[in-house]
Structure 1
Amino acid sequence: MTQQLTLEQYRRLRDFIYQKTGIYFTDSKLYFVERRLLDRMESAGISEFSDYYTLLRFETSGLELQAFIEALTVNETYFFREFNQLKCFAEEILPEITRNNPQRLLFWSAGCSTGEEAYTLAIILSEMLSPEMLGRCKILATDIDNKVLSFARRGIYGERSIKHVPKPYLQRYFDQVGNEYRVDSSLRQLIDFKALNLVDSKSMRQVPETSVIFCRNVLIYFDDISRRQVALDFYETLQEGGYIFLGHSESMSRITSMFQLRKMQNAIAYQKAK
């Protein structure tokens, strides 16, 4: 590509990505998108925007579109992020959920990125539940980005990711390998990592009934229409009395009134009415 991305080209590309993913980039993100576009064009050996845009739209395998989406997604996370919410989940919501639903339970990390959140939930379940109850639990961890899912399945993290893991948990659930830390197989067995586009309602409705959903700092990348649709699909997936956590700066009340806001002792959560 010999010239900068024009605003018209950017908006055409932006709208196409929105149509495919529900992720919406404002005009102020032009430079951010352009840098990643140029990198992908260079990798594909394409010099003109029109040729690359045609590839994205019509390539039957969809591999380049997936690679471009992965280049656009931001993945910044670590173990035990937003601790107050996790404390609320462990000490307030989990006892309620297990008391009212003694059978099989599913917990969903939606937009799991590189897996730290899902493994954190696995640690909490392992610490809080009896072996019998733990055997009835499963964690579903989904993301649109296959690259981060591969990283998550590998389960090996650097010191930055594990900086907030309490020392007893670090010793119990991780093996140190050089300067990295590998999660224990007992945690891996609790988690199913799967690719899922949150704006694909057909796929969303195939998720089994869920007890608690963590979708933190994900919906901020969506526009209002997509947020409402994803929230509706979450609502349909949650069991009666189930809960959803958003990021601390997000509000489900601004998206939909379907959920009841619950002000718990440690954090705010949103509940599907019983």
Structure 2
Amino acid sequence: MKADCMLKTEFEVIISDTDFERFVEFFYRKSGIYFDKSKRYFVERRLIERIKSGEFSSFKNYFLFLRYQDSGRELQELINTLTINETYFFREEYQFKCMVNSMLPEIISRKKPGSTIKIWSIPSSSGEEPYSICIYLLEYWKDIDKWDVEVIGSDIDTSVIEKARKGIYSKRSLDTLPKDIFQKYFNHISDGTFQISDELRESIRFTIVNIVDETEMKKYRGFDIIFCRNLLIYFDDLSRKLAVENLYDALNPGGFICLGHSESMSRISPLFKIRKFPEAIVYQKPLEEEE
């Protein structure tokens, strides 16, 4: 029995090469996330955890259940297990500076008074990014009191969305915040944990969405700024292109999208134009007259 094809728990679970390939293909179809062979150990460990927790006798029995369960609950649990959510407050802060100094002034120049500015954080993970957006607007955007701003945070992982709604964080994820901001917006609740203020928790709507599902994404329209950082790198070319097209449709003409520092829209799609602001390079959906 090959050691690289199994992990031992109370009983031996064997995942053959064929089984692994079938699972990867299935998971890709459902989530848009593709795991190559280099991720096999990571994937197998978590698969076996799920098999053990459900007391299935083999991978094949588990995979059959996974594919045909009516509720889809186990698939969602597996998605939660296999997606990586690591973030912190004010991550890649230069893009927030670009938001308040460059993107928003351009956006409001085309807005009618009284209209809403919509900002979307996807994937929002456990909430650090959308809460950072709100804090940055409150602290550093001089026109915040003149406009109605709607911030939405979305993720495919149901467990992190629940964490985001609660807004409870360890000191580690808060270390990047200036001391005065930390004291202003967070309340100490227990040893080493803090909860963001009720006002901020109530100001953000958190939702579940699969970015490559065209039907789900049709519900998301009219955004002025989208933060989609360090997500597209987990997709293959086809899923990446589909995700970008869905994001394009979600934006207003002239709206902006921010990617992670290692991502480049120009390698994925010609739909967006590059905008080089003093603070950051971002991507813009052309205005209607430019298309």
- Specify every segment of 5 or more residues in structure 1 that has no aligned partner in the other structure, as ranges: none
| Residue 245 (str. 1) matches residue 255 (str. 2) | no
Quote the offset at 1:88 in angstroms: 1.1
Provide the residue aligned with 1:82 in structure 2.
92
Deviates further, 139-148 or 176-185: 176-185
Per-residue Cα deviation, 1:155-181 (whole angstroms, up to 9, x for no partner):
010011111111121122111223212
Contact 1:143–1:196 at 8 Å: present in 2 too?
A: yes
CA distance in 1, matches of 2:275, 2:143: 27
Gaps of 5+ in 2: 1-10
Q: Say what the alpha-carbon RMSD is for the aligned residues.
A: 1.3
Note if contact 2:14-2:59 (Cα within 8 Å) is conserved in structure 1.
no
Runs of 4+ deviating beyond 6 Å: none
CA contact (8 A) 1:77 1:113 kept: yes
2:218 corresponds to 1:170: no
Check conservation: 2:118, 2:225, Cα contact below 8 A: yes
**Which of these residues, 265, 276, 286, is aligned with residue 263 of structure 1?**
276
What TM-score does the superposition give when structure 1 sets the normalisation length? 0.96
> Could you tell me which of 125, 135, 148 is aligned with 1:113?
125
User: What displacement does 1:122 show?
Assistant: 0.8
The change in CA–CA distance for 1:116 and 1:177 in structure 2 (over 3 A counts) is same
Q: Secondary structure at the match of 2:229?
A: coil
- d(CA) in 1 for partners of 2:143, 2:186: 20
- Greater shift, 146-155 or 91-100, is seen at 91-100
Larger Rg: 2
Shift of 1:100: 2.2
Identity among equivalent pairs (%): 43
Aligned residues of 2:13 and 2:59 also touching (Cα < 8 A): no
Match of 2:248 in 1: 235
Superposition pairs of residues 201-216 of structure 1, within 5 angstroms: 201-216=214-229
Count of residues in Structure 1 that have an aligned counterpart in Structure 2: 273
**Alpha-carbon offset, residue 119 of structure 1:** 0.2
What letter corresponds to residue 74 of structure 1 in structure 2?
I
**Amino acid aligned to 1:89:** M
Say which SS state the counterpart of residue 142 (structure 1) adopts. Answer: strand
Q: Give yes or no for contact 1:77–1:161 (8 Å, CA) kept in 2.
A: yes
Q: Is 2:171–2:193's contact at 8 Å kept on the other side of the alignment?
A: yes
Name which of 31, 52, 56 aligns with 2:62.
52
Quote how far apart the aligned CAs of 1:7 are: 1.2
TM superposition score normalised by structure 2:
0.91
Q: Could you report, residue by residue, the CA deviation over 1:199-257 in whole angstroms, capped at 9, with x for unpaired residues? A: 11111121131000000001111111111111111111111110000000000000001
Corresponding residue of 2:35: 25
1:130 is displaced (CA, Å) by: 4.4
Q: What residue number does 2:156 align with?
A: 144
Matched position secondary structure for 2:25:
helix
